[in-house]
Amino acid sequence: MNPSERPLSRDLYGGLNTPSTRGVQVTSPAPRKPWLELTRQDPEVLPTQTPAWLDCLCALGSHRDASRLYTFPDGQQLVVPIVRRRGLPGPLAVQASLPHAWGMGGVVARRSLRPQDLRAVFDDLAHSPSLSVSLVPNPRQGELWRAAQPEGAVTVPRRAHVIDLGGGFDRVWQDRFASGTRNKVRKAEKSGLVIESDTSGRLVGVFYELFRRSIDRWAEQQREPRWLAHRRAEQRDPLAKLEHIAHFMGSTCRVWVAWQGDRPAAASLVMYGVNADYMMGAMDKEVAARTHASTLLQKHAIEEACRLGCRYYHMGESGESVGIGQFKERLGARAYPYHEYRLERLPLSRLDRGLRGLVKRAIGFKDV
């Protein structure tokens, strides 16, 4: 038997060795054909859980494909989109589903997820020789992951927002947008804003210029030196990365820009697939505040998701920010508390939190 395709040991289940967990087969990297089939069958699948996204990530050269296909005796199949950092030997390897600033990983499933499915995944990954494995699941599945989490896993609380697009845009507009949000859209439409979108990558530079201006604003709010804020943000999301995503993902990746004359007021990057995923946004606060450009841009992006038949519009991480949460909820989004899971051989998360805390205290950083 190929070492990358093996049955999970009965001993891993600790008494949970039921007919649905015996004889689970694991294949890594996950073959593309069954993975693509699962993306067509899973109504919750995100663009960041597709083979194309993982290939896009790996094409930048820092990671290699470590995706895993789980085949259960009862016909259930799961894929975990996961990558391994290049250049590190086995005992020091770091695996992530997915790395920071690359969206949600978690699992793609043939049928509705069950806690025992996720326990099999946790059991397998816990026996990886890697130094650490992190899992960032679909926020809508947070309760299932909590029911399956193993003892000893490091959990990082997170909160994301998602809009249910059921019933189409007319239903979203009338029943889910707050009345104040509808009024802002009407005012924005009368303000002379022009909305443009593109899937060729042509507008990435416009987005990035607004993104750099937004970094300045965030740095001031957080009492962080501008040079440090730019260094962190541009290491995480360099222009080359966004250009690469736009060209690699093609029509899946759409950049939206709201213009006031020849001045960009707000911009966003949205991924479209079975479901839509609002990945990033930026704005010129002076213009956007006056024109409600960000609200109008979201209205267009959500309307496009409905036109394409998406079931959910994921709005990404909101953290503990009251303002960000309220903005999303007034667009009809619901908050989903969930956790990131880390399986670590050494207390890396505790060490990271300690070091970050020292730096924040040293520079007077303020979380907002």
What domains lie within the chain, and their CATH numbers?
5-151 (no CATH), 162-337 (3.40.630.30)
Going by C-beta distance under 8 Å and a sequence separation of 6 or more, which residues neighbour residue 102? 48, 53, 57
Per-residue pLDDT of 53-81, as tens digits, reads: 999 999 999 999 999 999 999 999 999 99
Going through 234-323 in order, the beta strands assigned E by DSSP cover 253-260, 263-272, 276-283, 312-317
164 phi/psi in degrees, rounded to 5: -80, 120
pTM for the predicted model, two decimal places: 0.90
**Is the confidence at residue 9, as pLDDT, over 80?**
no
Burial zone of 129 (CB within 10 Å; 0-12 exposed, 13-18 middle, 19+ buried)? exposed
DSSP 134-179: EE---GGGHHHHHHHPPTT-EEEEEEEEEEE-TT-HHHIIIIIS-H
Structure tokens at 120: 């099999």
N-to-C CA span, the chain: 52
Say if strands 63-65 and 68-71 run parallel, antiparallel, or are unpaired: unpaired
Do 297 and 267 contact (CB within 8 A), yes or no? yes
Per-residue pLDDT of 289-335, as tens digits, reads: 999 999 999 999 999 999 999 999 999 999 888 999 999 999 999 99
Structure tokens at 149: 């989490």
Query: Which letter, b or e, does each residue of 12-36 get, where b requires 16 or more Cβ atoms within 10 Å of its Cβ?
Result: bbeeeeeebbeebebbbbbeeeebe
When the pLDDT of each residue in the chain is averaged and rounded to a whole number, the result is: 90
pLDDT, mean of residues 143-161: 95
HSE-CB at 180 with a 13 A cutoff on CA atoms is 5
pLDDT of residue 368: 59
